[in-house]
Every structure is written in structure tokens, then in C-alpha cells.
Amino acid sequence: MTETLNWDHTMIDVTNLKDAIDYFNSKGLSFAPGGNHEYWGTKNALDYFGLNYIELLTVANKEKAKAFPYQNNSAIHDAVEDYFDGIQRITTIAIRTTDIMETHRRLKELGLDVGKITDGKRINPAGKLIQWKIFYVNDELANHLPAPFFIQWNKDDDKRREDLKKQGLIKFHPAGDLFVKQAIFNVTDPEEAAKQWSALLQAEVVREGDTFTVNIGNKQLVFTAGVENRLFKLIFHGAKQPEKLQLGQIRFELTTNE
């Protein structure tokens, strides 16, 4: 089976889940509690823009959250550290694959320290069991840029989309017919960062001046010069009116572009 890759979701670390939900929903988004991850001692809230969604993540059980290791859990471990450091920011993105075994094999051949493939699950507020397979990259990328992680859901895209619509999770947003169009990475070496991501995603790099873009489906990962070495901002299209949102270091830009 040939792997197909898509931008599945974006991880955002918050220190108080209710406050974050209230802030973003007051601006026309539609976050709802997603459930708890018992192994990690974390909990989340989700907002869907089609199958692409945003996950707000925070600590639910401090003892459990402090206990699990970085290896095989890198993005979650970073979120827990941010919680205890009082930092709110966008961490990284998850890449959805149709063949997680093939993706894991390919990245290992690239020389990356990939964690083992594990089964994930959580119970959503409606009592429904959500399941997936997942693996994390134990390496950071150039200049300590967090790597993406990779996920395969236990249902195909069409079935998941149908289920999410039935659950009322894919819906119209008060701020407009929103969808996430771009992730803006501010990095000290945009060309090298884009090159690394292109290898991970098997996608070409498009250069425009000092900006480097990697296309993934109908979305873009944009690498620009900056000192943060982080995913800095999300750009949304389809808003009724332009607006810039900020909570801690989390930045969303809502635009009217279709």
C-alpha cells in the first residue's frame, strides 16, 4: 500500500483549558471538550475544520503527566513541560497517513530516531471510544524545531467525516466557513527547515524570495526567517471578516480569502 499523507491536526499547549475554550469561542471558533488521555494524564478540546482540526492540550493529572518519558511521546511530553512552565503556544502538527507501517519504515530509512508504533485511545464526552495508531519522532529538526508526529485512524477519511458530521463536530463556525490554510514557521534557517519537512512529507519545496513553502494537500507549510524556531501562527481562510487572535504565544489570523 502506498502511503498518502495529510495534515491531520495542530497541537496547541494551554495552561487552562476552559479559559482557552472561552477565549477562542468568543472570537467565533467552536472548541468543545474532547476527553482525557489516561496514560499521559492530559485532556483536550477540539475544533474541526473538515477532517483537519485543532487540539488544545493541557494537564489533567499532574502526577501521571510528570511520569511518562520523552521517548515515544515527544509532542505530549513537550506539552506537559509547557504546562508546568506556564507557556501557551503552538507546538507542532500531526500528519495523517494511510499506511503507518510504511511511513515508519521510510522515516527510519531517512535516519530518524522514530519511536515505536503504539495504539492510542480516549473516551469522548459522549462515551464513545476513539482509537488510532501513532508514532512520534524522538529527534528534533534543525535548530530544535519540533518534529511532526504521525497518526493513522481506525476508520478511513470518508467514514470519519460522516461520523464527525453526525456528532455535530464538523460544523459551520460563527466566524465564517473557516478552514486552516497555512502554518507559518518562524525559523533561523528557513531553507534547511523546509528541506527537512519536504523529506518527511515527500513533497517539493517552493521558494519565493526568502520564504520556502511545502505543500501538503490543499494546505501549505510556510517557513520564514525568525528566532522562535517554532510553528508560530495559523492562517485561516473563509472568515466573515479579518481578525487576529492571540492567547499567550498562540496566534491565529482569520482572513476572508477563499
Residue 171 lies in a domain: no
pLDDT computed for residue 95 by the predictor: 98
Shared domain for 102 and 154, answered yes or no, is yes
d(CA 217, CA 192): 21
Reduced to 3 states (helix: H, G, I; strand: E, B; else coil), residue 22 is helix
Shared domain for 67 and 191, answered yes or no, is no
d(CA 58, CA 88): 10
Shared domain for 112 and 190, answered yes or no, is no
Full domain range(s) for residue 74: 5-166
Dmax (CA) for the chain in angstroms is 50
Number of structural domains, the chain? Answer: 2
Shared domain for 182 and 159, answered yes or no, is no
φ and ψ at residue 50, rounded to 5 degrees: 75, -145
> What grid cell was written down for 230?
517554532
Summarised one tens digit per residue, pLDDT across range 59-114 is 999 999 999 888 888 889 999 999 999 999 999 999 999 999 999 999 999 999 99
Cite the DSSP H helix spans in the chain. 17-26, 62-67, 74-85, 100-109, 157-166, 190-201
Shared domain for 20 and 105, answered yes or no, is yes
> What grid cell was written down for 250?
498562540
Q: Which of 175, 236, 234 is nearest to 28 (CA)?
A: 175
Q: What are the average pLDDT values for consecutive 10-residue runs of the chain, which has 258 residues?
A: 90 98 98 88 96 97 91 89 97 96 96 93 78 92 93 94 92 96 97 97 96 97 96 97 98 92
C-alpha of 124 from chain center: 18
- Let me know: does 142 contact 192? Beta carbons within 8 Å: yes
* Alpha-carbon dihedral sign for residues 55, 188, 201, 184: positive
pLDDT computed for residue 49 by the predictor: 97
pLDDT computed for residue 187 by the predictor: 97
d(CA 18, CA 55): 13
The domain spanning residue 60 has which CATH number? Answer: 3.10.180.10
Reduced to 3 states (helix: H, G, I; strand: E, B; else coil), residue 194 is helix
Q: What is the pTM of this model?
A: 0.94
